[in-house]
Chains A and B, each alone.
Chain A
Amino acid sequence: MEVVAINQISPDQVILFSWWFVTISATLLYTWLVMGVLVIGSILITGNLSSDPTMTRWQSVLEVLVETIRSEIRDVVKDDVDTYFPFIGTLFLFILFSNLFTFIPGYVAPTSSLTTTAALAIMVFFAVPIYGISKQGIIEYLKEYFRPTFIFFPFHVMGEFSRTLALAVRLFGNLMSHEKVIAILLAVTPLFFPVVMQVLGLLIGIIQAYIFAVLTIVYIASATQSHEEAEPQTKEPNSTNH
């Protein structure tokens, strides 16, 4: 069953319900599906958490997942892990499960829609300065745009936009192209080859989720830590004088 036709590039084009400007597309439907699975699964698993050394398998899986994300953030950010963890964790989990469910027949990953990836990238676009300002203050944060000299300001601004665009397009491009490739392959060689490509698709989905999350961590870290890294160099001579 093909939800998205081969000539449709995005699940946004599959309109399930439309009223005035409200259009419920396949993207939203599958987004809610992923959200539902994540939230209900979390409620079910965390409803009976154990703080003893022995625990259920599901709790163990979740703890490993959560600790892995925190560890990745800790490797880059060093401190305030729990400040960034909900945002980055949600990004990672949402993208990961959106991509993983592609093995379900009839499912279309919401991340294969440019609208979704653009929305996620825009949130990163706004999250980075919010974290940066909350951490450093607005003046220190804005100073970063004029370093090393004011000439670099337009390049910094362009960098912000281009990396947001890159985030959105990279995720969308990978997922969408993969779906199209599989659709084409199903038409050409319907027996064995699409299964291999499906497995490859799962791998690509995981990698893309990881790349999106890691890049977000790096952007946030660059916005929150640039000033802190420069500080020891200026303080060091004073400390040696004491």
Chain B
Amino acid sequence: MHIDWFVFFSQIVNFLILLFLLKKFLYGRIIGAIDARKAKIGALFAEAEQSRQDARTAAEDCERKRQDLEERYEQSLNEARREVETYRERLMEKAREEVDYLKVRWTEALRAERNNFLHELRQLAGRQIYAATRRVLKDLADLNLEERIVEVLLARIATMDENERGKFRGPAREGGTITVTCAFDIPTATQVRLNDTLHRYLSGDMDVAYVRSDDILSGCELRSDGHKISWSMKDYLDTIEERFYSALYEEAQERT
């Protein structure tokens, strides 16, 4: 095996030259290109990552907005529900008030109707009882009811105690007037008897006025300066009215 030393050193030089040239024209350029490409790809990846980050941020932003909208929607819905509930309660209150008002009006109307009915009943019953009593007295005892009423009034005047008479005498002495109010016309003879009785027991110079009034139910009354004595069917009619009222009330209770 022979070694040519000139070739040997030439090969060393050749190799070093080749090393230099390849380093200059191949390795540096290729590695530079690879590094540049890596940098570009890295930049692209970074850009993609940034875009991904932006997209994620945008998605999170959208999600946050959506949640915000949902919360606002829920809030609005709750407010609307509360308003509706308040409005409903207000309407219910108003309806209750109207019902109460109508109930009061209805009750008042009913009461007024009842009162009217009782009043009419009282009037009608008074007239009927008066007429019936008058007829019964005429048929059975041949008595005049009006005369008997006046007689009762005269008897009461006669039987008054001094204290009671004093109450009528005061106004009579001062030139006052005693008013005799009856539900019927008093005949003249009876009026004379009344005048005599009054002048005898109360005062001789007093005036006596006679007035007819339907308000006094089948009776007579003597009135002077706020004091009065009377007889009428009022007490009887009051009893009848009270009985009727009780009967009506019981029936109403039974129906309800």
Contact = CB atoms under 8 A, between A and B. Distances in A.
Interface in A87-130: 87, 89-91, 93-94, 110, 113-116, 118-120, 122-123
Contact of B15 (A10, A13, A46, A119): A119
Residues of B contacting A: mostly = helix
B247 interface: no
Contact of B18 (A10, A35, A63, A66): A35
A202 interface: no
A25 B15 CA distance: 16
B132 interface: no
B30 A66 contact: yes
B40 A46 contact: no
Contacts of A67: 34
B64 interface: no
Contacts of A66: 26-27, 30-31, 34
A89 B33 contact: no
B18 A94 contact: yes
B12 A25 contact: no
Interface of A: 9-10, 12-13, 21-23, 25, 27-28, 31-32, 35, 38-39, 42-43, 46, 49-53, 55, 59, 62-63, 66-67, 82, 85-87, 89-91, 93-94, 110, 113-116, 118-120, 122-123
A90 B19 contact: yes
A86 B37 contact: no
> Chain B interface: which size bin?
20 to 34
28 contacts: A12-B3, A23-B7, A28-B10, A28-B14, A32-B14, A42-B21, A42-B22, A46-B26, A46-B33, A49-B29, A49-B30, A51-B33, A52-B40, A53-B41, A55-B33, A59-B30, A62-B30, A63-B33, A66-B26, A66-B31, A86-B19, A94-B18, A114-B3, A118-B3, A119-B7, A119-B9, A119-B12, A119-B15
Interface string B18-60: 1101110111011111101100110000000000000000000
A90 B22 contact: yes
A212 B33 CA distance: 28
A120 B4 contact: no
Contacts of B26: 38, 42, 46, 62, 66
